[in-house]
Amino acid sequence: MNSIRVKKFDYIIIGAGPAGMAAAITARAHGLSVLVLDEQPSAGGQIFRNIETLEATRKSEFSKLGQEYESGSSLVRRFKKCGADYFPDRSVWQIDNNLQIHHVSASASKSNSAISHCQAKRLLIAVGAMERPMPLPGWTIPGVMPCTAADVLYKSSGFIPDGEVVLAGSGPLLLLIGCRLLDVGVHVSAFLDTSMNGALLKALPLLPKALRSHKYLIRGLSLLWKIRKAGIPIYSGIQNIEALGSSKLEKVRISKSGKFFDVKADLLLLHNGVVPNVQITRNLGCEHRWYDVQRYWEPIVDDWGNTSVDDVSIAGDCGRVAGAAISQVSGHLAALETVFQLGVISQAERDKLSQPHHIELARHNHVRPFLDKLFQPGKKWLIPENDKTLACRCEEVKVSEIRETVRMGIKDPDRLKSMTRCGMGYCQARMCGLTVSEIIAEENKVSPEEIGYFRVRSPIRPVTLGQVAEID
Amino acid sequence: MFKKQYESHETVSIIFEGKKLDVEKGLTVASALLVSGNTVFRSSVVSGEPRGPYCMMGVCFECLIEIDGIPNQRACMIPVRDAMKIKRQQKNKE
């Protein structure tokens, strides 16, 4: 067998979104050797997905995506020129204690399925966020998707939804994507608003601070206004949403004030906020805590993004979710810390260079507590009221089965997993993990903080035995 | 479920369930099948219920499909290639 050839770098960054790209630029400016591994075929992350191709070949769509998206071009250009080694299409499937990283092609086929290895002095996790799964009856029927799926198809392929579209959920991203659909002439037949009743009142005490970043608020209000002006029927105070159809979505059943009614639909786009992707930080054993306002797990970090594990830090939305602008700032900060830790600059230099970023961070952070409170996910949409709803899509485990197991005295997510198979499928609990913590916590009348989360083991991504066997 | 906004300029031919499809070069397998009106990619390994793409970004593993004889490939992560043979994954065939 061949022994492993390991290429060494000062700094390895996982993720080529706003945070990862910003960190690479700063680290390279101080002369570090940098490797960026990213699972997608091109740089930009989900927010600036496919940005280079769109700008070069489909100008009209590029400009339709708005100023924030356009702002990504200069970042991608600077990243591409910064001198970092950049490997797209790589899935990281294992990270050893000595920061040796094993990765494989994300679009693996016979020809390019071999595993590669590399080792870092310091590691940055910048893998971003994902949509919080919104389990409801029928959500496995083809034609039910999270709203970002429509965004991906638009940015990568220029496709737009065909037929009747129903939007359901709450959060700024749903408003943004909803408005984009209206801009390109998609027919939205209903907007099902699941935001918490009274959320605005609860968020109001945070408004004065938020007004200091009024740009965000004006943008949010204009999105809401656009949806109202378009004359789309908006339903709020909904009790239940159910997707109906067999091999394809046919209609969405809504229950409101004890009455049912159906809306014909070809596509149901769901959204219940965005949550950090903690698969890698969990796997590495970083400490996490429960963020109660937005109800998700986040790695515990200091001002520089350092986690509880030596030489591992995070930047961007795989920590507290804050959007593209803050992600870039946190990327620059994490890189400056690494440049300091590796002895290239002094602590005083680090502090001086990071000052503008800290100021920027403070400015953005004025509005975030308000938005987090305003778009707090409603409990009804975290744990489905209908017990027959599938919590685990891969192994088809119902909410009722999880409840029954918990009532047998099972409090530990991992024990529940071995008893029900919930979380054992291909997605490795990415789709059911939060729901499981929520259900166990609710049954025991405690916070998910006390319950914890599934232990995330390697491989972080499924790999074939054949691929692993190539390692000595 | 989804449609194109303009005509494709460069295409490749893929074979889905024995049927030839001309699709735009550069698309992922998932996008190419969806825009051709194919929404069911496999049947669930537990109940056999039909499943299709969900997240479109490599997270959920719903779009698993057989490509050139290799099963369990994420269709949303793999670009189409000329003469690629794609098949649905059926529960009873496992």
Q: CATH 2.60.120.560: does it fit domain A6-130+275-345?
A: no
Please give the mean pLDDT across all residues of chain A. 91
Residue-wise pLDDT tens digits, A265-320: 999 999 999 999 999 999 999 999 999 999 999 999 999 999 999 999 999 999 99
Domain assignment present for residue B94? The answer is: no
| Contacting A residues, span 176-195, partner chain B, CB-CB under 8 Å | 184
Give CATH 3.50.50.60 domain extents, chain A.
Answer: 6-130+275-345, 133-272
- In whole angstroms, what is the distance from residue A163 CA to residue B1 CA? 7
| Contacting A residues, span 297-336, partner chain B, CB-CB under 8 Å | none
- The matching CATH number, chosen from 1.10.10.1100, 3.30.930.10, 3.40.920.10, 2.60.120.280, for A383-451 is 1.10.10.1100
Domain assignment present for residue B66? The answer is: yes
- In whole angstroms, what is the distance from residue A9 CA to residue A366 CA? 37
Question: Residue A376 in contact with residue A197, Cβ under 8 Å?
Answer: no
Query: Does the distance separating the beta carbons of B49 and A152 come in below 8 Å?
Result: no
Tell me what pLDDT residue A2 has.
Answer: 45
Tell me what pLDDT residue A304 has.
Answer: 98
Tell me what pLDDT residue A111 has.
Answer: 47
- In whole angstroms, what is the distance from residue B15 CA to residue B87 CA? 8
Residue-wise pLDDT tens digits, A218-259: 777 777 788 888 888 989 889 999 999 989 999 999 999 889
Tell me what pLDDT residue A226 has.
Answer: 82
Strands A7-14 and A116-125: parallel
Of A106, A130, A266, the CB nearest to B77: A106
Query: Does the distance separating the beta carbons of A426 and B61 come in below 8 Å?
Result: yes
Domain assignment present for residue B55? The answer is: yes
Residue carrying the six token digits 């949403």? A241
Q: Which residues contact A187 (CB under 8 A, 6 or more apart)?
A: A163, A164, A165
Q: Say how many domains are in chain B.
A: 1
Query: Does the distance separating the beta carbons of B46 and A396 come in below 8 Å?
Result: yes
Query: Does the distance separating the beta carbons of B52 and A426 come in below 8 Å?
Result: no
Mean pLDDT, residues B66-94: 90
Domain assignment present for residue B40? The answer is: yes
Domain assignment present for residue B4? The answer is: no
Q: CATH 3.60.21.10: does it fit domain A133-272?
A: no
User: Which chain A residues are closer than 8 Å to B5 by Cβ?
Assistant: 61, 158-160, 184
Tell me what pLDDT residue A207 has.
Answer: 67
The reply to whether A110 touches chain B by the CB within 8 Å rule is yes
Surface-to-core class of residue A381, CB atoms within 10 Å of its CB (0-12 exposed, 13-18 middle, 19+ buried): buried
Domain assignment present for residue B56? The answer is: yes
Domain assignment present for residue B18? The answer is: yes
Residues of chain A with pLDDT under 70: 1-4, 109-113, 197-204, 207-208, 210-217, 469-472
What chain B residue is nearest to A145 in terms of C-alpha separation? B54
Domain assignment present for residue B2? The answer is: no
Tell me what pLDDT residue A353 has.
Answer: 98
Residue carrying the six token digits 């290799």? B70
- In whole angstroms, what is the distance from residue B77 CA to residue A248 CA? 22
The reply to whether B58 touches chain A by the CB within 8 Å rule is yes
Tell me what pLDDT residue A472 has.
Answer: 40
Question: Residue B80 in contact with residue B32, Cβ under 8 Å?
Answer: yes
Domain range for B66 is 11-87
Query: Does the distance separating the beta carbons of B72 and A462 come in below 8 Å?
Result: yes
Give CATH 1.10.10.1100 domain extents, chain A.
Answer: 383-451
